[in-house]
Amino acid sequence: FSDPASNLGLEDIIRKALMGNLEERQE
């Protein structure tokens, strides 16, 4: 529980949103 952001699933949402942009740039 020491990392609330990970607990909430935030990290996953953030990574996906950031990666989406990377994929767009690669295209």
Partner 1 sequence: SRMFLVCPMNMSPRVDPQKSGHEVWEEFSRSFTPAVREVVEFAKKIPGFRELSQHDQVSLLKAGTFEVLVVRFASLFDVTERCVTFLGGNKYSVDALRTMGSGDLLSSMFDFCEKLMNLGLSEEEMSLFTAVVLVSADRSGIENVNSVEALQETLIRALRSLITRNHPNESAIFTKLLLKLPDLRSLNNMHSEQLLAFKVH
Binding site for partner 1 (CB under 8 A): 1, 3-11, 13-15, 17-18, 21
The residue (of 1 and 23) whose beta carbon lies closer to partner 1 is: 1
Report which residue type is found at 6: S
Question: Nearest approach, Cβ of 20 to partner 1 (angstroms)?
Answer: 9
Question: Nearest approach, Cβ of 24 to partner 1 (angstroms)?
Answer: 11
Inter-CA distances, 23 with 6, 13, 18, Å: 23, 15, 9
Question: Nearest approach, Cβ of 10 to partner 1 (angstroms)?
Answer: 6
Q: Which two tokens stand for residue 6?
A: 């990970």
